[in-house]
Structure 1
Amino acid sequence: MAGQIPEQDRRVRILLESARFEEANEVFEEVTATATNTVEEGWDRATVLVNRALNAWRLGRVSTALELAAEGWTEIDVDRPTNATTAQTIGMLGSLLETVGHQPSAMDLITRSVHIARASEDPATLAQCLSREANALLFRAVGLEECDERVKRFREARALYEEALPLADSSLIRRSVLASSARALAGTGDAEEAEQRATEALQLSREDEDWLNASIAIWVLAGIRWDEGKLDEARTWASRALEGAERVRDTMLLMRFSRDLASICEELEDPVGEAAALRRTVRASQAAVRTLHEGLGQALEQRRVAVQAQRLATAAQEAAVRDPLTGLTNRRGLERRAPGLLDRTAARGRIPWLVLIDVDQFKDVNDSSGHVVGDVVLQEIAQLLRRESRADDLVCRWAGDEFVVLLVDASEEAKEAGPMVAERIRNAIRDHDWRLALGITDKLPTASIGVAAGPAEFEHLFAAADIALYRAKEAGRNRVETNEGDLTVPPAPRES
């Protein structure tokens, strides 16, 4: 069958239905022993993970349940399949959200699973998805006070159960549909058929030690006796249903059954029984709140870890494009950002300039003063470049003692912007007080600078500036040379 899960995973569920929690825990440990999200080859990964999430939730392992559900959901979001297996997975996710109490999202998922199951033409999958949607409607109907709306919901659930029952291909699905559909029948006034189905479901459930569906069947029988005015019998059946819900540790059923028992005791004028039932309601509610608080805390912690990981990843990406010595953008960062900046500049009808700076005879500084002092000089030059550039300009340490300033917003005096900035930088380096870094020396740093402009690709713009830099070196250093290229301002884009 589509959407099947491994036998061990199904065994966990069967043990849970039988209230054999210690055994269920042991088997669950076995299936998740190698790795929490490991799934045997040949099984659908998302379906198995979400099924395990449901089992983990029933075992009280909230953190594991959330982790498995998120992993399974991600598998579906990435692949976005629309087959029977997907219907199973989405339906189970909806059931988990229903258990948690997130009803709007739960109903959306469950309804979607039915649509996908219908399109897949897989009868067994459709039966399960229909049953989940009917269950959601059923328990919403039970909680309604307004009579007409209540009956309407019961009828909607009944129609889904009637469609699912002939498609049920396993004893588990059949007794589940029988037990729940009996309550829908009772809600629409068909008490005789409801009792027959509840009795059959009870018998099948007891034979297979399925105490979950047995408790639902008993609850239906309690409701039938209650409607008939047989309050003593109704109280007996409701007490047994409540004991069954406690046995399988189903908080949602515990709250529903205990409230019904309290109402029956109230009609019987049995204050002791009513008080006892209400105490069980409170205990169930407190357990549900504790579970949700734990889940919320763990979800918050998972979110914190995710944000931290994202920040670390962002920091790593930033570090990859940042020069550790000067704090400037490095060569890789410039090569990544330059094309986009040049395109943006051209689109705004402005001329980009590239200023290529080379520190003159920097090797002499390293040889005479040492590499540590040389690093200090480079750091101070980086500060000077930042000071003489504008906020929008991209300042980069290209390699060694070479730096680049990419001017991308030269709107005023566009044909002079590059050379003007270059001269400011050259003068700033020449006139800087280097005594703190170098002491008293005749060998003070200067810079040769090549400048190029034009709406060209970055590689061509850099090559043009490099040619100009070569001319500056050949002409005696400590000077600016310009390779003007194409200084035509590109036309601004038309407004639409």
Structure 2
Amino acid sequence: MEHGDPLVAGQIPRPDREVRVLLNAGRLPEANTLFDEVVARVPPGVDRWDRSAVLVNRAVLAWRLGRIPLALELAAEGWTDLGSERPQSPAAAQTMGALGYLLEGIGNRRAALDMLRLSVQVARGAGHPDTLAHCLQRLGGTLNFRAADGPADAAPPIFDEARGYLQEGLGCVNDEGMRRALMGAYSRSLAGIGELELAERTAARTMELSEETNDRWGISVANWVLAVVCRERGDLVTARTLASRAVTEAERINDTSLLLRFSLDLADVCARVGDPVGEAAALRRSVAAGRTAVDTLQEGLGQALEQRRLAVQARRAAVAAQEAASRDPLTGLANRLGLERAAPDLLESTASKGRLPWLVLVDVDWFKGVNDAAGHAAGDAALREIAQLLRRECRADDLVARWAGDEFVVLLGDAGNDRDIGPAVAERIRAAVDGHDWSMVLGATRRPTVSIGVAAGPAKLDQLFAAADMALYRAKRQGRNRVEVEPSINELGDLVGGG
């Protein structure tokens, strides 16, 4: 049973409070329009608890407006800070109270009551009267509904517990809107424990104050309580009239929880007075309200699920785009960007195990001649063939990339302590290219070979590349179709456990 008038001046922004006033006045299109204007703005300079309170109270507004995905999103964002530490501020109490209301709305009733009780505890420690009053109103109102929904013999102690909270709230409240909400809920608790005269006076005063301010929420609740009082006294005809007014006002302000409760009570009164037509109409309104609540929630959750699906899809597209940016479209190997992104992790992993990183730099010999003689399409096919040969001669955890043009890089993964692994892999690659049958790709054109430079050492990618490039230069100078190593294995002996 949520009223939700202004909480703490200066903490809940004025436009948000105006949305709530419009809601309670039954001016739903205006409330929706104003809500659209304020929902994206969080006041600057607020601390995290005030921000959390603003977000969760906006979630309550979105919930009442039937905008369930937005309500869930705002609630989740506002809830984030609650797990970090035990809060003691008024804004934290407000946040918890609003979350309790939302949990009640989605059917998590145990968690809702726990959250509402915790909000009262925090509000008592925070020392802000209006915050405490609002938390007490939410808790007391929720207990009233629990009592009204449950078995009749279990209701009086629950109503009495609610009465205590609401009376406490009336003793500390300053805000007049919240006073009306507390009075309406308090009068229902009084009726629930049999204090009908005081309940009637309190409800009548709530009605008077609510009519003066066009508070349709207060008018709806006051009519409900007066109907309950008349029902308990046996004045069923008056009770039927008052209950019907309560239902009409609840419909007017689009408050599904009030409509469900009030229409059931109207059906009960109609049944007692012998009005089957009125009873059936009231039950239809109750069923329709329940269906609306379920449909709205299901639709909202469906929209939230669809938004989640789209978000996952967008992330996958972003990952795919990132992978595409790191992949050479001709050969399917990693490109230069992909190598530069992946190399630091591979080098760090290798070094953390005390292993020696190896880089193999491969350059196709006389590739310009291949292009000139056989054409660029055949040259591209030759590069794809070389890429396949590189994959075949390397392990799955080696990083194989096309660096640029006809130049390839292999960064070996964990090669253990085998100080010959880099040159050995390089020689396998050279031999595979040299012995490959190129006739299907290049016909009678001169077959390509590769020159390879190899380097090792606990270094960064650019340092390894520079060393391998020096070795590759020597391989080119010394006749091509060969492997050269830089630095020599002897110079690396102390790095791999040798003498």
Contact 2:359–2:456 (CA under 8 A) maintained in structure 1: yes
Match of 1:242 in 2: 247
2:452 pairs with 1:445? no
Cα distance change of structure 1 residues 2 and 105 upon mapping to structure 2, 3 Å threshold = farther
Structure 1 Cα separation of the partners of residues 43 and 496 of structure 2: 61
Equivalent-residue separation in structure 2 for 1:112 and 1:479 (angstroms): 76
Distance in 1 between residues matched to 2:306 and 2:421, nearest whole Å: 52
Native 8 Å contact 2:419 2:496 kept in 1: no
> Does the CA contact (< 8 Å) of 1:84 and 1:120 recur in 2?
yes
Q: Which amino acid aligns with 1:438?
A: L
In the aligned structure 1, how far is the partner of 2:240 from the partner of 2:12? 40
For residues 157-172 of structure 1, the aligned pairs below 5 Å read 157-172=162-177
Conservation of the 8 A alpha-carbon contact between 1:350 and 1:414: no
Decide which moves more: 130-139 or 253-262: 130-139
Corresponding residue for residue 222 of structure 2: 217
Contact 2:359 2:409 in 1 (8 A): yes
Instruction: Return the offset for 1:120.
Output: 4.0
Instruction: Tell me the secondary structure at the aligned position of residue 361 of structure 2.
Output: strand
TM-score (norm 2): 0.84
User: Residue 303 of structure 1: CA displacement?
Assistant: 1.3
Counterpart contact for 1:69–1:93, Cα < 8 Å: no
1:380 aligned residue = 385
Q: Which among 122, 136, 140 is matched to residue 134 of structure 1?
A: 140
- Distance in 2 between residues matched to 1:429 and 1:108, nearest whole Å: 72
Give how far 1:246 is off: 2.3
The answer to whether the 8 Å contact 1:2/1:85 transfers is no
Equivalences for 1:168-187 in 2 at 5 Å?
168-187=173-192
Which blocks of at least 5 consecutive residues in structure 2 are unaligned?
Answer: 1-7
Match of 1:197 in 2: 202
Alignment of 1:236-315 (within 5 A): 236-315=241-320
Structural RMSD (CA): 3.3
CA gap of 1:27–1:406, structure 2 versus 1, over 3 A, is: closer
Partner of 2:5: none
**Which residue identity is paired with 2:222?**
A
Instruction: Determine if the alignment matches structure 1 residue 431 to structure 2 residue 431.
Output: no
| Kept after mapping to 2: 8 A contact 1:357/1:448 | yes
| Residue 144 (str. 1) matches residue 147 (str. 2) | no
CA change 1:2–1:204 in 2 (3 A) is closer
Q: Distance in 1 between the 2:121 and 2:393 partners? A: 64
- Quick one: distance in 2 between partners of 1:357 and 1:156? 82
Q: Is 46-55 or 418-427 further displaced after alignment?
A: 46-55
- Whether contact under 8 Å (2:55, 2:78) holds in the other structure is no
- Equivalent position amino acid for 1:136 in 2: T
8 Å Cα contact 2:328/2:335 also seen in 1: yes
Percent of aligned pairs with the same amino acid: 54
Matches within 5 A, 1:12-23: 12-23=19-30
Provide the rounded CA distance (Å) in 2 between the counterparts of 1:487 and 1:110.
70
TM-score scaled by length of structure 1: 0.84
- TM superposition shift of 1:479: 0.9
Could you tell me which of 6, 10, 35 is aligned with 2:17? 10
Deviation at 1:131, TM superposition (A): 2.0
Instruction: Say whether the 8 Å CA contact 1:388–1:421 is kept in structure 2.
Output: yes
Letter of the structure 2 residue corresponding to residue 74 of structure 1? E
Contact 1:130-1:163 within 8 A present in 2 as well: yes
1: CA distance, partners of 2:45 / 2:343: 48
1:391-410 to structure 2, matched below 5 A, reads 391-410=396-415
Q: 1:97 Cα deviation (Å)?
A: 4.1
Are residue 358 (structure 1) and residue 363 (structure 2) matched? Answer: yes
447-456 or 244-253: bigger deviation: 447-456
SS of the residue aligned with 1:477?
coil
Distance 2:209 2:23 in 1: 17
Distance 1:26 1:452 in 2: 67
**Deviation at 1:177?**
1.0
Distance 1:199 1:38, change over 3 A: same
1:358 is paired with a residue of what secondary structure? strand
Give me the whole-angstrom Cα distance separating, in 1, the residues matched to 2:299 and 2:174. Answer: 37
Q: CA deviation at 1:248?
A: 2.1
Choose which of 310, 324, 328 in structure 1 pairs with 2:329.
324
Match among 401, 417, 430 for residue 421 of structure 2: 417
Question: Residue 469 of structure 1 aligns with which residue?
Answer: 472
Q: Which amino acid aligns with 2:94?
A: Q
Deviation (angstroms), 1:328: 1.5
Post-superposition CA distance 1:11-61 (Å, at most 9, x none): 3322221223344445446x36xxx6245667876655554544444344x
CA contact (8 A) 2:96 2:118 kept: yes
* Contact 2:58-2:74 at 8 Å conserved across structures: no
The total of aligned residue pairs comes to 481
Deviations 1:100-147 (A, max 9, x none): 444455445545544554454333223223322332333223222273
1:37–1:68 CA contact under 8 A, matched in 2: no
Q: Which residue of 1 aligns with 2:90?
A: 84
Shift of 1:169: 2.3
Q: Distance in 2 between matches of 1:173 and 1:312?
A: 49
Counterpart residue type for residue 479 of structure 1: R
Q: Is the 8 A contact 2:62 2:70 kept in 1?
A: no
Q: Distance in 1 between matches of 2:117 and 2:436?
A: 73
Structure 1 Cα separation of the partners of residues 145 and 258 of structure 2: 10
The separation in 2 between residues aligned to 1:104 and 1:437, in whole angstroms, is 72
Secondary structure in 2 aligned to 1:264? helix
The answer for the alignment partner of 1:494 in structure 2 is none
Query: Alpha-carbon deviation of 1:465?
Result: 3.0
Shift of 1:202: 1.6
Q: CA deviation at 1:445?
A: 1.7
Q: Note if contact 1:3-1:86 (Cα within 8 Å) is conserved in structure 2.
A: no
Match of 1:227 in 2: 232
Distance 1:472 1:134, change over 3 A: farther
Shift in alpha-carbon separation, 1:370–1:126, aligned structure 2, 3 A:
farther
Tell me, in whole angstroms, the C-alpha distance in 1 between the residues paired with 2:113 and 2:318.
36
C-alpha change, 1:23 and 1:67, in structure 2 (3 Å) is closer
CA change 1:431–1:152 in 2 (3 A) is farther
